[in-house]
Amino acid sequence: MSRIILAVGVFVNLVVLAHYKYAYFLLSSANNILEPAFGIRFAGQQVPLPVGISFFTFHAISYIVDIYRKEAAPLKNPLDMGVYISLFPQLVAGPIIRYHDIARQIAERTNTLDRFCSGVERFSFGLGKKVLIANILGNVADQIFAAPENSLSAPMAWLGIACYTLQIYFDFSGYSDMAIGLARMFGFELTENFNYPYIARSIREFWRRWHLSLSTWFRDYLYIPLGGNRASPVHVKVNLFIVFLLCGLWHGASWNFVLWGAFHGMLLVFERGRFGALLDRLPGIVGSAYAILMVMVGWVLFRAADLPQAIAYVGAMLGLGSGSGFSPQVLAAVDARVIWTLVAGVILATPVATVLCRDWATRIYPSHAAEPFPPYVRTIGNLGRKGSTIAISSFISIGTVVLCISQLATSTYNPFIYFRF
């Protein structure tokens, strides 16, 4: 009986998600095939997408499965259930909550001034990532991706995808930091979502560092039920490909997202074989170059409006474009601020700044240990919240917020990339 309840619960949640997010996409795809071939066309219209529908669904499925597996006790109070399903700090862009990770916190949690201050600090640095890095680089990326395909040159295409690569990381990780910080102010401790993904030496490692809450959700609730690593080698590869195909579809009802997921799935399948073994034996810098190159090519599929644009853009990256140099619009947009932001983004996408801050802070408080997932400079405030440490941390947090307010006051460009997923 419990399996029937589990199956019905998961099925109902998936049907609701499919209706709102994928019905029109599937109908349009069917019409594109049937109308030219048979003259058949189905009527339909786009359904407004409820805010946070993907996260509502994943939270509900996690709750049902975790109760079935006896990994956590069911909630008795409807208000507690409402808190879990619609926890507002992370509702629109994550991190994705697995029920067993937060069940105890819903029933029992405490808050302190120190924890609240830590949340404010985390929120401020997430806001800084978004406003001071992602927005500035995103403006350049948008201009290049909006340029006519015949105007793209190799340098221009590479600049555009480099800016977008940093934009999507600082945009999404910045929002995750803001969500974690805001939740911490209310006494909740959410799971970390990023661990410097761009220093990965393989696509396997990339997915152990990028959007951790999504990859662990798919691992626990899809990959393992399909057989996981316990199946035959061929079955394991099929499982990986299916998981990432669905991962791409989860991001949006578009063939670009499906192909992006299939692209990563194929890379992971290749890395499960001899290619992965060879990659592990190569120098680390070779693996890092391979990983970031594949990630950037994948981001073209993620960012392009459609498949023809993605193909033309990758062609321009390979030197097959018909443009030369940079267009006047791009040259006007790439000022000193953009160049310095690009340099800062590259540095802050690695652990360099965190390591330097940790070393400096441990000289002051050698008895304190660093956190395993510290965000960029917040380590200073986390290694001992007293004296000069808390003063410096507060100064940096306040300074970051002031800079963000100044930037927001002079700019109307503030999109959150992951809000639409």
CA 409, distance to chain mean position in Å, is 27
Burial 221-258 (b: 16+ CB within 10 A, else e): bbbeeeeeeeeeeeebbbbbbbbbbebbbbbbbbbbbb
Give the residue ranges of DSSP H helices in 154-227.
154-185, 203-206, 212-218
The catalytic residues are 251
Distance (Å, whole) CA 400 – CA 381: 14
CA 412, distance to chain mean position in Å, is 23
Cβ atoms 411, 333 nearer than 8 A: no
CA-based nearest residue to 124, from 415, 404, 419: 404
Distance (Å, whole) CA 306 – CA 194: 28
Cβ atoms 184, 100 nearer than 8 A: no
Q: Spell out the long-range contacts of 370-376 with Cβ–Cβ below 8 A and sequence spacing 24 or more.
A: 373/192, 373/195, 375/122, 375/125, 375/126, 375/177, 376/125, 376/348
